[in-house]
Structure formats: C-alpha cells, structure tokens
Structure 1
Amino acid sequence: MRKQFISFLAMFFLLSFALPTQAEEKRERKWQDESVYFIMVDRFNNGNPKNDYEVNVKDPKAYHGGDLQGIIDKLDYIKEMGFTAIWLTPVFANEKSGYHGYWIEDFYKVEEHFGTLEDLKRLVKEAHKRDMKVILDFVVNHTGYHHPWLNDPAKKDWFHEKKEIFNWADQSEVENGWLFGLPDLAQENPEVKQYLFDAAKWWIKETDIDGYRLDTVKHVPKWFWEEFSKEVKSVKKDFILLGEVWHDDPRYIADYGKYGIDAFVDYPFYKEASIIFSKPDQSLEPLYNVWRRNAAFYEQPYLLGTFLDNHDQVRFTRLALQNRQNPTTRIKLGLTYLFSAPGIPIMYYGTEIAMDGGEDPDNRRLMNFRTDKELIEYVSKLGELRNKLPSLRRGDFELLYEKDGMAVFKRTFENETTVIAINNTSKTQKVHLDEKQLAPNKELRGLLAGDLVRSDKDGYDIILDRETSEIYVLAPKSGLNIPFISALVAVYGAFGLFLYYARKQKK
C-alpha cells in the first residue's frame, strides 16, 4: 500500500509541474500541420513473403521484398514517432528491375512485388484509422524503357522524339528530352493528356489517397499541371499536390505554384541543411536566409517540404561520416531544425536509425528494425512537440541570435511562444537574450532536455553544451507552487488519518 501511495504522489507531482499547455481550440487541420515519413516501398519491410519474386537482398538493383503489407504492419511504429502522413514511392506496375517504381509499365495496376489493389486500399484505410494521410508518388513525364506503347503503331505520337537533354537552361529541351533515356510522354497529345488525367483520378476514387507527390515536375509543361490540378482536385477536397522541382533557384520553383501545384520539396533548403548540419561550426544563417526568400517568393511558404536527404541523395549519415562526425549527434541537430522551423518536415525512412548509404542505389538499403532506439526516441520526442505546439507548425519565424553555428530562433502563434536553440559548434555556448527579444519576468522551459532558464533583471541566459539543442516554451515563472504545496500537505494529512484509523480498526 505504501508503494502505491508513493507512486500516486510521484504522478501527482509530475502532473502539477507539467508544462501548462494552452487548451488549443479545435482547428481545421491543414497540410502545414503534417509531418511526413517517406518510404521506398521495396526497401522498407517485407510483410508478405508470398510476393517475393526474383528477390535478392544482396543485389542493390534487385527487389528486396518490401511491400504494402509490410508498411501496414509498421503503421503504429511510424505513428508512434509522431508522423501524421506517409509518402510512398510509385506503387504502379513496373518493368523488370523497377524496384524503385519509376519505370512504369501499367498505370492502372499495383506492382505484383508490392501486393494487390486490395492491399493498397487496406493500407490507406488503416492509415486513416490512425489519423494519418497517404501520399502516392505519381509520374506523368515518362514510362519505363520498354513500355508496350513504344511498339504500338497507334501510339507512335504518344512520345516525343528521342533526344537527350544537353542544354538544361533550355526549357523546351528540359520538357521534351528523354530524361536518362526514359521515353518522354507527349502531354500535348489529347489522348495522352486524358489518359494521365483519368489514371490520376482513378487511383483517388479507388483508394481514397490524400495526395500526390509529383515526380519530375520541371520536365512537364506548366499548362499541363494547371489542368491536372483542376482534374484531380475535382475528385477529393483538400487533395495535395507536392511537386518535385529539382532546382537551386526558389524563384524558378515558386513559379510552378501559379499552375495548381500546392507544395514543393525544398531543394534550396536541402542544399544548405546537408552542409550545415553534417559538421560543426557551420553558421545557421544561410538556412534562415532560405526561409526569408521562401517567404518572399512563395504564396504558401509553410507548405514547403523540408528534408535532410532522400532517395536521390547521398544519405545524411554518409555526409557526417565523411566529415568524421558522429551521425547520431549530427542527425539530432538537423532534425531539431527540421521539426521546429517552418515547412512540412519530410524524413526519409532509416534516418531514425542513422542508416548509411552513398549514391543511388546504395542510399536505398533495406530497413533494419533491430537497432539502437536512441534516435527513434529523439525523433518521437520531436514529433510529439511539433504536434502539441501550434507555434512549431504555424508560428512566425525570427532569428534572435547567430554566431558561428550557435543560433536561437523564436516562433510565435497567438499566445504561444517557443524558442529553438541549436548549438552547432564544437564548444559550450552562452547566449543572452534581452527583454526586447523575449517578454520579461517569465521562464523558458526546455522540452527536449528539461533545461530551465528563468529571467532576471537583464533578460535570459541560455547555456548549451556543444552539438546539442533545446526547444523551450515561454511560460510564467513557476516559483513556489503554493497550491501544489497545500495539496501535498492535504494528501499527506489524509494519508496519515487513513493509517491512524486503519491501525485503530486492527486493534
């Protein structure tokens, strides 16, 4: 009985001193509130060995057995890390060796290595049960190398003339050339256009997916995207189109937003983040400047998908190793920024276990679920904080301090203020924030590492060890919790009376 009482007191203490989160009103969920776990279907989890045709896990260019059932089996694992959406590489039937999904052979069929249409429907249904959204990769620029249409005389004008792209500054060449030799579809052909529209709408109607990640956007004419957007959004409300426009100039990318594409994967962000976080003593100001440009050029800058790596890039872990750094330490810093800065965080599968990998296809290794949990727990904490604190999803973004890699940011949404401190240096750092930067007579309560910074007459002093970070919420000073102390005395008194009467009754 005494142990139970002590446990009760401990719980009472924790609840009394827990972060007094504001009772957030029930708001309409927006896409900027999501966080995305990106999965290469074949390389994630083998849930159904019966569809393991020609599987060879030792060949990086062969199928490894991952399938839709494997993803269903791991939905709770993904949700427990705090992710609210998943993005899958193409699930459509591919030609031989198309494990990655981008060599489409049949736009109306699920790849047999991955399962069936019923499996996909079940995956979406199970995700929706968990309040998670599903985004499918959709390709309209090209087909697989040996698509049957290439040998069909009736479809000879379904493709552009076979030409490589030599001048990447020539938009016409970019849109009409055969990317990596893949047959380039002629969207200006009314039959091709209608076929792609119909296929895109069919998958939404059949499976109830929530969005498309659009592959190779800049290789397709802008007028097509404008019509494509109207067609697919006529099927489902709040359906998102997330475009891949692989370019360093945000103005080039943002222009596609005028043609119905809602969001974009942020390659300028990736370019800076992969350099800054893969080694210490790198300034974070270039990343903040990326945000400033985004806010200026995009109509919906909060819908930009931020990422540290993906299936087309060397793994972030490899970048850290090349710089002779501890990948776990570097990933923690990078993900702290990813989950607390504006944008939709997109995390590539395996980052939570610091998966290594070089150039494609080495960056697409089979996921290992029997591994150290340190990073997984850290990702889960970040996911929890982002989901609980609207300022981390919707707040403004201000750089309060930056010097050689030590940075402090502030985000404010309605009455909530969060402060993100990242020490991307090789030494312990101290930062002083004055009353012009933060409201006086309050305290900063650390939610990642439990740090507590109380203001004094001069402001706030944040001290962070090397290569660590903290997310604070600005709150009233706790001081002596008189109500808590009174309640504690009352509880002890009641327990004392209980023991007194219990002993008396025994006698």
Structure 2
Amino acid sequence: MKRVFRALLIFALLLSVTTPVSAKTERTWQDERIYFIMVDRFNNGNPKNDYEVDVHDPKAYHGGDLQGIIDKLDYIKEMGFTAIWLTPIFANEKGGYHGYWIEDFYKVEEHFGTLDDFKRLVKEAHKRDMKVILDFVVNHTGYNHPWLNDPAKKDWFHEKKDIFNWANQQEVENGWLFGLPDLAQENPEVKTYLFDVAKWWIQETDIDGYRLDTVKHVPKWFWDEFAKEVKSVKQDFFLLGEVWHDDPRYVAEYGKHGIDALIDFPFYKEASTIFSNVDQSLEPLYNVWKRNVAFYERPYLLGTFLDNHDTVRFTRLALQNRINPVTRLKLGLTYLFSAPGIPIMYYGTEIALDGGEDPDNRRLMNFRTDKELIDYVTKLGELRAKLPSLRRGDFELLYEKDGMALFKRTYEKETTVIAINNTSKTQKVTLDGELEQGKELRGLLAGDLVRSKDGKYDIILDRETAEIYVLAPKTGLNIPFIAALVVVYTAFGLFLYFARKRKAS
C-alpha cells in the first residue's frame, strides 16, 4: 500500500506541473533504463537445475536461473526499468557460473535452464514492454574448449601469448586475455561461425540487443561487419560495447565501427569516487560529459553506471570511507538517473549489496530486505519516465562549489533542475538570471517548493540530499493539485480505517 500511496502522490505532484511538455515521441534506446543481472546470482526459480550448487563458495554456482528472472520481471519493472541485460547464458565449462567461459555457443547453460525457458523469458519481458539484452562474447572461448583439440580448427585461435604491452593494439587484439584462448576473427571460418551464431540467437529468441564483451580485444573491422550481419536480421537491434579504457578518444573510435553505444568507464571512475564520499566536487563528472560531447557521435547513448560485475561494489567503497552507503547511493543514483546517458544499475544496488573484488562483488541477491532504497530507485525511475528533459534534454552546470551542485536540463518547453548536496553541511544557493523569472521550482523527490522572488530562486538543501525540480508557472490555489492530494489522502485514510477494523475483528 505504501508503494501505491507514493505513486499516487508523485502523480499528483506531476499533475500540478502545468508547464507544456512535448508530445509523445517515439521510444529510442536513450529512453531506456537497464537492470543488469548476473544470471547465476539473482534468483533461483527452478531448484531442479541446481547441479553442484554451493552458495557458500563464491566461485561455485549459486542456483540463479532463467525461471528466477521470469519470476522477478514485475519486481524489476515496478522499479522503473525498461530493459534487462543478462550475463552470457551459453553453456560454459566447469566453474563458469558467470557465463564467460563458453563451451558451446548454441546451447543454454544447464544450470540456467533450457532454450525454451529463455524464449519464454523474452516473451514475458516483451509483454511488459521490456527489452532484453544478452551478453555476447566473440573474443575468446573457455580455457578447455573442444576446438583446442580439433586438428581441423588449429587455425581458429591466435598463438598462445599473454598481453604484456597494453599500449600495443595488435597485442591487445591477439593476446590471450587472462589465459583465455583468443579466437582469430580474421579466419573466414571463425568469422562466419560467430556471425551465424549471433544471428541464430536473434532469430530463435527475438532478443533486442547484445552487450558486446571485450570489444577492444577484437579488430575494429570485425565490428563493422558484425553490425551489418545482426542488423540484417533485426534492423533496430542494439549493440552496446564494453571498451574498458580511461581515454574517451580511444573508446569513441569504436562507435564509428557499427557499435551503437558504449559503456562509459570514465563516468564510472569519477562517479564511484565522488559519490562514495562526502565533500567531493561534482565538477569532474560534468567535465566527463563535456568530453563526451566533444568526442562521441552519440553521447546520449553512453551506458552510465556506478559499479558492475568487474568492479568493487559501490557499497564497499562507501563503507571503506566509513560512511552510510544508502545515503551515498541515493546521491549517486539521483545523478545516474537524471544526467545524460543510459542508466545501468547492477542487480543488488537497490538493497546496497556489499562486495569487494571479483568474485565477492557477485553475491547472491537478497529479496528479503529493507525497501527504503528500492522505493527511492522506483521514484527516480518514475521521474525519468515522465520527464523527457531527464532523458533527452541538454545538460548545463549552473553552480558547483565543493560538492554542492545544480544542473539544468531543457527539452522543448520543459526545464528541470537537478540539485545535489554532496557536502557535510546544509547549503543555500541563489540562482539569479539562470532561470526564467516569475515561476517556481517544484521538487518531485522530496516535495520542496521554491518560488522566484525578485527574479531569484533560493535553493536550500540539507547535507547529503538531492532534489529534482521542474520549472513551472507560479500557483496560487492549484485546484487540480489540491484535488489530487485530497484523493490520495482520502484513499490512504480509508485503507488505514479498514485495515484497523479488520484487525479488531
């Protein structure tokens, strides 16, 4: 009931915003919000496929499967996510709970279920208007792949060599990453095989996109051809590439070779550092955005994130700084959901799941936990869905001093202001000339209201809090808003009355 009440309250607040907004536009990938799932560590929906499961061994299977994801699709959708990204579901060699040690590209890992289970997952997601992105690996196979012992396929792999010089692109592309057998994409048979299997999964299951693993370890020319092949099957198929590098110029090059969007590691580096501690300036994050605009052809399609399966959990970073991870996550997620880019949230973030280095950062999800952060994520998802400026608007830094920051986003006739106080003290900021005069800022996260006075807006935020404002005409007695509030409170009062009456009887 709390969730219903909160949703009605936000609806009432949004109803009161009389600023004209754009007509409904076609949904594109920059409008998505992605929930990232490590299949084995999410939810056990079918105990019958629990082979050699040991939840106490961080390197063993923990029982998560495709049925478990199906069972939680409504949970994910209710938080406001419009797409899910799954780690590889292909059959892996022993110990490959994470999915990246592939043994058979055409089979579903038996611990996860069957091909029919996956088809059903995609159908159920599509029924909920949610898209499905599957992790896809073309750089390597598992350590003991049968091809390694097949004389007919001796040319399917590069010579066994480790990567020593990471500045040498040829070495990066041909070396065996972490000792994993490196596929020779220049071999026509290998290339054809990878193209065929990539198209087969789209044709068989109707997935919506691939998250491409280890992109920089594969030649750029391959991605040009790969993109043409998969999009010949499904024109709007989405390719999200992982290029782990701190230099945006290096990463941006791959966006010119058929890959639609890229994971923003420079964003992660700054965001995880800034928001996991107090009194940290947000200006470095804005500088990341300015560089993105300069270097990328499609900066709004960059995948932004606070942590993932290859990094220390954000919660652990906050704990190392001896600070409340829930408070820090609220600030970080506010920026993630209101700044440009496609927000990607790693499973468990909504419960502040802890975890250190791999594999500790891949703990089993806990669904019996406090919902404070889940409700906050839900609220952010609702606002991003309802306010086009948070998905498509321009992005301007209005003010920043030692961690107190104000950002403005404008799309058509809608203007929002994102206020984040990442300091240890209450802060007051006066905007004079940055916003249209004679209006008011209506806070949709915490319900703050700031009316312009003499053309100025005085924004006051408590320490370590955030607010998302929408600029709207000043209101006197806002009849629709008051009526909506009356409906909300009346419904809530009736619920409490009948609940008590039922308890008494």
What is the TM-score normalised by the length of structure 2?
0.92
Q: Give the counterpart letter for 1:443 in structure 2.
A: E
Alpha-carbon separation, structure 2, partners of 1:411 and 1:484: 24
Aligned to 1:465: 462
**Pairing 1:121–2:119 present:** yes
Alpha-carbon separation, structure 1, partners of 2:99 and 2:14: 52
1:388-445, Cα deviation, whole Å (9 max, x unpaired): 000000000000000000000000000000000000000000001012x100000000
Alpha-carbon separation, structure 2, partners of 1:485 and 1:342: 33
Runs of 4+ in 1 over 3 A off after TM superposition: 13-24, 480-488
Q: Give the counterpart letter for 1:139 in structure 2.
A: V
Task: Identify if the C-alpha distance between structure 1 residues 306 and 483 changes in structure 2 by more than 3 Å, giving closer, same or farther.
Answer: closer
Q: Give the counterpart letter for 2:197 in structure 1.
A: A
**Pairing 1:447–2:444 present:** yes
Aligned to 2:453: 456
Q: Give the counterpart letter for 1:256 in structure 2.
A: Y
Q: Which has the higher contact order (CA 8 A, sep 6+)?
A: 2
Alpha-carbon separation, structure 2, partners of 1:134 and 1:339: 20
What secondary structure does 2:284 align onto?
A: helix
1:156-235 paired onto structure 2 within 5 Å: 156-235=154-233
Q: Which has the higher Rg, Structure 1 or Structure 2?
A: 1
**Pairing 1:152–2:155 present:** no
1:5-28, Cα deviation, whole Å (9 max, x unpaired): xx9xx99x9589733364642311
Aligned to 1:109: 107
> Does the 8 Å contact 2:252/2:295 carry over to 1?
yes
1:84-95 paired onto structure 2 within 5 Å: 84-95=82-93
Aligned length: 478
1:59-113, Cα deviation, whole Å (9 max, x unpaired): 0000000000000000000000000000000000000010000000000000000
Q: Give the counterpart letter for 1:343 in structure 2.
A: G
> Does the 8 Å contact 2:19/2:472 carry over to 1?
no
The correspondence for 2:246, drawn from 248, 267, 271, is: 248
Q: What is the root-mean-square deviation of aligned Cα atoms in Å?
A: 1.9
The correspondence for 1:281, drawn from 279, 282, 286, is: 279
1:100-145, Cα deviation, whole Å (9 max, x unpaired): 0000000000000000000100000000000000000000000000
Task: Identify if the C-alpha distance between structure 1 residues 476 and 126 changes in structure 2 by more than 3 Å, giving closer, same or farther.
Answer: same
**Pairing 1:331–2:329 present:** yes
Alpha-carbon separation, structure 1, partners of 2:55 and 2:437: 59
> Does the 8 Å contact 2:16/2:478 carry over to 1?
no
Alpha-carbon separation, structure 2, partners of 1:87 and 1:113: 18
Task: Identify if the C-alpha distance between structure 1 residues 432 and 175 changes in structure 2 by more than 3 Å, giving closer, same or farther.
Answer: same
Aligned to 1:353: 351
What secondary structure does 1:334 align onto?
A: helix
Q: Give the counterpart letter for 1:416 in structure 2.
A: E
Alpha-carbon separation, structure 1, partners of 2:310 and 2:280: 24
Alpha-carbon separation, structure 2, partners of 1:471 and 1:315: 26
Aligned to 1:499: none
Task: Identify if the C-alpha distance between structure 1 residues 15 and 282 changes in structure 2 by more than 3 Å, giving closer, same or farther.
Answer: closer
> Does the 8 Å contact 2:19/2:473 carry over to 1?
no
Aligned to 1:493: none
> Does the 8 Å contact 2:389/2:409 carry over to 1?
yes
Q: Give the counterpart letter for 1:141 in structure 2.
A: N
Q: CA deviation at 1:475?
A: 0.1
Show structure 2 runs of 5+ residues with no match: 486-505
Alpha-carbon separation, structure 2, partners of 1:52 and 1:443: 57
The correspondence for 1:438, drawn from 414, 431, 435, is: 435
Aligned to 2:314: 316
Alpha-carbon separation, structure 1, partners of 2:57 and 2:484: 65
Aligned to 1:500: none
Aligned to 2:79: 81
Show structure 1 runs of 5+ residues with no match: 1-6, 489-507
Q: CA deviation at 1:479?
A: 1.7
What secondary structure does 1:136 align onto?
A: strand
Alpha-carbon separation, structure 2, partners of 1:204 and 1:383: 28
> Does the 8 Å contact 2:15/2:480 carry over to 1?
no
What secondary structure does 1:197 align onto?
A: helix
Identity %: 85
1:329-478 paired onto structure 2 within 5 Å: 329-435=327-433, 437-478=434-475
